[in-house]
Chains A and B, each alone.
Chain A
Amino acid sequence: MRVLVAMSGGVDSSVAAALICEEGHDVIGVTLKLWQGPQGEMPTAGCCTLSDSEDARRVAAQLDIPYYVLDYTDHFRHGVVERFVSDYRHGRTPNPCVECNRTVKFNQLLEQSQAFGCDLLVTGHYARVRSGRTPELWRGLDRQKDQSYVLSMLGPDTLSRVRFPVGEMTKTETRGIAERLGLRTAHKAESQEICFVGVGNYRDFLRRHDPDSVAPGPIIDGKNPIGRHQGVAGFTIGQRHGLGIAVGEPRYVVEIRSRDRAVVLGDRARLQVDRLVLDEVTWTGLPLTKGAPVEVQYRSHGQAVPSKWNPGVVAFERPQFGIATGQTAALYQGDRVLGSGVIAATERAA
């Protein structure tokens, strides 16, 4: 089989590449160049820095596989960065890793892998694909590292053409393999930051790319303006710290309005959410039927909570607090991923 491995230069995708090579396939390694600044500068944080692509290149050389860097900056800008900017401007909290997987890695790259004559696309994600008549997506074996949330939007066609070799092991085992094989990435630190944001934080990034999202607006508590903020992009629903105010009762961000750029504060009760309205719903296999039980995970590092499915809407069994629109809701049954949607609205029972 001919296999394309997406190599970020980290230990996980290095080991994924090594394992797939050990199986004796005809392997091609690629690194995607996803982002560059206005002066052509490469990211300095995250998974796609220049030194990372150099690590990927060296690992590929060690594995003796051909290796290429592909320019995906246009795809990434259109599919991920523009949405990231627009989401923040509209008071949503985007999940760029999900969008990158959806529009770039498991769409355009998958398509190009077929143009290279590859049967399979391999990445270093911590998730498991169980192949069968219909492939299934499961949480990674290592629950601490599980990345099934950011892959929950993959459909059956895609799942039948991808594999995640390190999803079947713990991070410790992954590093052990890297050490055993003498891969230069064996002891590399984790990358957690948003890859394209780079130096500074995402507010600085937005200030450069969408000055409107960092335009000042009122902070409103109840109905009363109590201060000004430096842009809605600084806030997310449920946020308690960094509001720049000190009042007796604990106050939370309960609403971010794009219309008048108001950040609305309230008490914890106002954060209560009983239902999520979902957009862009996708299924890994068959869709759920109305009224079916399902567990919903609504942030990348969180628990899945028991809920009930109604087409386009999930109803929690117990109220949840502080859920941001724009985030992905991943639908599970135990460790198996059933599907996903983007949170369009949060609702509270009357």
Chain B
Amino acid sequence: MLYLDHAATTPLRPEAAAAMAPWLGPQFGNTSGSHAISRRAKNALEEARERVATVLGAKPAEIVFTGGGTEADNLALMGRAAVSGQVVTTAIEHEAVLATSSFLARLGREVAIVSVTSEGVVDPDAVLAATTGDTAVVSVMAVNNETGARQPINEIATALAEQGIPFHTDAVQAFGSQAVSASQADLISLAAHKFGGPQGVGILYVREGTRLDPLLNGGGQEMGRRSGTHNVAGIVGMTAAMEAATSDRARFVAATSEARQRFEAKLSDRVERTIPVDSAVPHISHLRFEVPADTMLVRIDRLGLAASAGSACQSGATTISHVLEAMGVSPETARRSLRFSFGWTSTPEDGEQAAELVLAALEEGR
């Protein structure tokens, strides 16, 4: 199987597997306890927190470990909106943000959804214009998970900071190819499994002084911001993956760019990119075909190539992507769009091989 669905999830990095191994075996322990076994777990947890803080340029106390990117997004929005005020976000956010926004709207919070350009990019002025004197949080993703479009978060962050409006960015799809740092937002969501860590663990960076109510209430872990017994194995694995991905970034960008270029070059007669190359991250190739996406997915799966349509429902059926819809792409075109995403295990040759398989799949229907 040639795997080009790294944006969905990517294989565990060996550094992460090695770091986790003791915690899936001999090491265990609840971080909240007074005995030696607990202390070991607590020490591993706090060491991980310091190392994550170092990678992000943050203080350890600003790191909240969560059960993944979705939980981090939920915590950022609901934790802010619980305090007060309006929520501003965009039409191309991940469902974790959009569905949370709808939930808040049902609870009576004012929610503004900012539209995007036809190239899938948010306009900072439009975001700013949507805020009110009572905005609890503005949430704009760093990189769109479907098209790979980079968003002007630094510009938005600067403008919002001047007005003292808290800014959240979902950087789940950014980390690995982009530098993500605590200076970029008041709240930042990350998910381990997108950069070679395990699934089911993530981070919400919370800048010191940003008031945030907890979403999960209970034993008061994470300084009361996220209760629940720590997933120590997941957290140490994520930390190792984060460090590995950071030191691997330059190679990652070069290798995936090369793979993607070779992939797209071989397909140039048969496909169209959804957005311009220079506005996207290097490892995501979002393309339009002459054949419906669900048919293509079945064909390439049979040929041993894994990719995905923009979004899939729980049952796995391909549905119309809200991101493409927000960009003004017609439903008919949206149904012919596929995402190929390269990752840390991809080689430049993978791009050529994948293109051959895609061409073979296109030939099947002739």
Q: Check if B298 sits within 8 Å of A68, measured CB to CB.
A: yes
Which chain A residues border B301 with CB–CB below 8 Å?
Answer: 66, 68
Rounded to whole angstroms, the CA-CA distance of A53 and B297 in the bound complex is 19
The reply to whether the CB of A71 lies closer than 8 angstroms to some CB of chain B is yes
Q: Knowing A70-B294, A71-B294 touch, does A117 contact B299 (C-beta < 8 A)?
A: yes
A residues 24-65 touching B (CB-CB < 8 Å):
28, 31, 33, 40, 42, 50, 53
Which chain B residues border A66 with CB–CB below 8 Å?
Answer: 298, 301-302
Which chain B residues border A53 with CB–CB below 8 Å?
Answer: 315
Q: Which residue of B lies closest to A26 (CB)?
A: B302
Q: Check if B295 sits within 8 Å of A31, measured CB to CB.
A: no
Q: Check if A71 sits within 8 Å of B319, measured CB to CB.
A: yes
Distance (whole angstroms) from the CB of B19 to the closest CB of chain A: 32
Q: Check if B315 sits within 8 Å of A31, measured CB to CB.
A: yes
Q: Which residue of A lies closest to B301 (CB)?
A: A66
The reply to whether the CB of B107 lies closer than 8 angstroms to some CB of chain A is no
The interface bits of chain A over 110-123 (1 if a CB of B lies within 8 angstroms of the residue's CB, else 0) are 00101111000000
Which chain A residues border B297 with CB–CB below 8 Å?
Answer: 68
Q: Check if B299 sits within 8 Å of A116, measured CB to CB.
A: yes
Rounded to whole angstroms, the CA-CA distance of A70 and B317 in the bound complex is 5
Which chain A residues border B291 with CB–CB below 8 Å?
Answer: 115
A residues 64-118 touching B (CB-CB < 8 Å):
66, 68-71, 112, 114-117
Q: How large is the interface on B (under 10, 10 to 19, 20 to 34, 35 or more residues)?
A: 10 to 19
Distance (whole angstroms) from the CB of A108 to the closest CB of chain B: 11
Distance (whole angstroms) from the CB of B99 to the closest CB of chain A: 10
Which chain A residues border B365 with CB–CB below 8 Å?
Answer: 114-115, 117
Contact of A68 among B294, B313, B314 (CB under 8 A): B294
Contact of B317 among A28, A69, A115 (CB under 8 A): A69
B residues 315-359 touching A (CB-CB < 8 Å):
315-319
Which chain B residues border A33 with CB–CB below 8 Å?
Answer: 313, 315, 317
The interface bits of chain B over 301-317 (1 if a CB of A lies within 8 angstroms of the residue's CB, else 0) are 11000000000011111
The reply to whether the CB of B364 lies closer than 8 angstroms to some CB of chain A is yes
Q: Which residue of A lies closest to B331 (CB)?
A: A74
Which chain A residues border B295 with CB–CB below 8 Å?
Answer: 112, 115-116
Rounded to whole angstroms, the CA-CA distance of A114 and B313 in the bound complex is 24
Distance (whole angstroms) from the CB of B97 to the closest CB of chain A: 17
Q: Check if A28 sits within 8 Å of B315, measured CB to CB.
A: no
Q: Which residue of B lies closest to A111 (CB)?
A: B295
Q: Check if A28 sits within 8 Å of B318, measured CB to CB.
A: no
Q: Which residue of A lies closest to B365 (CB)?
A: A115
Which chain A residues border B298 with CB–CB below 8 Å?
Answer: 28, 66, 68, 116
Q: Which residue of B lies closest to A112 (CB)?
A: B295
Distance (whole angstroms) from the CB of A110 to the closest CB of chain B: 13
Distance (whole angstroms) from the CB of B24 to the closest CB of chain A: 26
Distance (whole angstroms) from the CB of B330 to the closest CB of chain A: 13
Which chain A residues border B294 with CB–CB below 8 Å?
Answer: 68, 70-71, 112
Rounded to whole angstroms, the CA-CA distance of A112 and B297 in the bound complex is 12
Q: Which residue of B lies closest to A36 (CB)?
A: B313
Distance (whole angstroms) from the CB of B338 to the closest CB of chain A: 14
Rounded to whole angstroms, the CA-CA distance of A241 and B365 in the bound complex is 54
Which chain B residues border A68 with CB–CB below 8 Å?
Answer: 294, 297-298, 301, 316
Distance (whole angstroms) from the CB of A158 to the closest CB of chain B: 19
Distance (whole angstroms) from the CB of B80 to the closest CB of chain A: 26
The interface bits of chain A over 1-37 (1 if a CB of B lies within 8 angstroms of the residue's CB, else 0) are 0000000000000000000000000001001010000
Rounded to whole angstroms, the CA-CA distance of A68 and B298 in the bound complex is 8
Q: Check if A71 sits within 8 Å of B317, measured CB to CB.
A: yes
Q: Which residue of A lies closest to B296 (CB)?
A: A115
List the interface of chain B (C-beta within 8 A of A).
Answer: 291-292, 294-295, 297-299, 301-302, 313-319, 364-365
List 17 contacting pairs A-B, 8 Å CB cutoff, sorted by A: A28-B302, A33-B313, A42-B315, A66-B301, A68-B297, A68-B301, A68-B316, A71-B294, A71-B313, A71-B318, A112-B294, A112-B295, A115-B291, A115-B292, A116-B299, A116-B302, A117-B299
List 8 A-B pairs, minimum CB-CB distance, nearest first. A71-B317, A69-B317, A69-B315, A33-B317, A115-B295, A69-B316, A117-B364, A115-B365
9 further interface pairs, Cβ-Cβ under 8 Å (given A28-B302, A68-B294, A71-B318): A28-B298, A68-B298, A68-B301, A69-B315, A112-B292, A112-B294, A116-B295, A116-B302, A117-B299
